[in-house]
Structure 1
Amino acid sequence: MKKEQRQAKIEQLIKQNLISTQDDLMRRLEESGIKATQATISRDIRDMKIIKEQDGNGNLHYVIFKANNQTEEERLYKTIYDTVKSLTQVEFMNVIHTMPRNANVLAAILDDLVQPQIVGTLAGYDTVIIISGSKSDASSVNELFRIHMNEDNLI
């Protein structure tokens, strides 16, 4: 099966079902007659910008990361406002604490923007590390976050 067809089926499955693991996704693909390895599914997840998001009941499931009608910058500013709890600059890096389960979403937005002041991001459960090429670049990133943070969220 061609990559485009497999990815179209993955998108359909994710939109129609609550899928929370790669094993779940592989099983549903197999039920649809599509066999794929775990490595292939991992590449598809990365290529399609699939992330995990929490639903209203606190359950994590896959969603395809899209900005809807917002620009990427607007989505970044809204996400900073809604989720960032603290920000600390350490030399050429910024350590950002978010609301639980929001670090990956924030990192995905930053990665999509491809800003020259950001060399890369690392994300966990509620922490994002933004690596910059210099202390000056890190200060610029820090200032951008500070401008858009919601003071009610700060710890």
Structure 2
Amino acid sequence: MKKNERLALIKMLVLENEISTQHDLLKMLEAEGLTLTQATISRDMNEIGIVKVPSPSGRYVYGIKKETKKVSTQPRPIKSTVLAISEPVVGLENMLHLDVIPGNTRLIKKFIIEDFKDDIFSVISDDDSLLVVTKTAEGAEAVRNEVEKWMTIKN
């Protein structure tokens, strides 16, 4: 199967099923005759733009981000994945901690680095949180203000 066919199949499976783990998706692909590694499925999901979203049942499942290419005036889907942002801490004014819906930190990290590349010193992420370190306290405040806007935009 060609890569574009594989990506189309993955997208179809995600849109038609409530899939909550990569392991579940790998099982579905195996049922379709595809044997992939976890690394391959992870890269494919990133390329397609698959993120965790709340399902009607209340659990988080994979879905497709609704963003188009870079030049867009529409709010990014990031707004629905940032859950909380830390308050400023004395002595750590250039640092922010973000809580995120699990599985979406890679996307949020990308947007923060793109939007604030001149202000960012480093962004460290795990599955459900980010530590943003800026060069200055003012840079942290700019990031905070923007992320708070993302959090208040309604889907």
What's the TM-score, normalizing by structure 2? 0.69
In structure 2, runs of 5+ residues without a counterpart are: none
The one-letter code of the counterpart of 1:13 is L
Cα distance, 1:76–1:131 mapped onto 2, change above 3 Å: farther
In structure 1, runs of 5+ residues without a counterpart are: 151-155
Aligned to 2:141: 139
Q: Give me the whole-angstrom Cα distance separating, in 2, the residues matched to 1:73 and 1:120.
A: 24
How far is the alpha carbon of 1:85 from its aligned partner? Answer: 5.9
The share of aligned pairs that are identical, in percent, is 29
The one-letter code of the counterpart of 1:120 is V
Q: CA RMSD in A?
A: 3.3
Aligned to 1:21: 21
Give yes or no for the alignment of 1:111 onto 2:114. Answer: no
Aligned to 2:58: 58
**DSSP 3-state at the match of 1:58:** coil
Q: Give me the whole-angstrom Cα distance separating, in 2, the residues matched to 1:72 and 1:106.
A: 22
Give yes or no for the alignment of 1:122 onto 2:121. Answer: no
**DSSP 3-state at the match of 1:62:** strand
Encode CA deviations 1:31-89: one digit per residue, 9 max, x unaligned. 11222122211111222221112213222211122237xx4662368549x84364336
How far is the alpha carbon of 1:25 from its aligned partner? Answer: 0.7
Aligned to 1:41: 41
Considering fraction of residues, name the structure with more helix: 1
What's the TM-score, normalizing by structure 1? 0.69
Aligned to 1:75: 76
Q: Is the 2:51–2:103 contact (alpha carbons within 8 Å) kept by the matching residues of 1? A: yes
The one-letter code of the counterpart of 2:141 is S
Cα distance, 1:48–1:120 mapped onto 2, change above 3 Å: farther
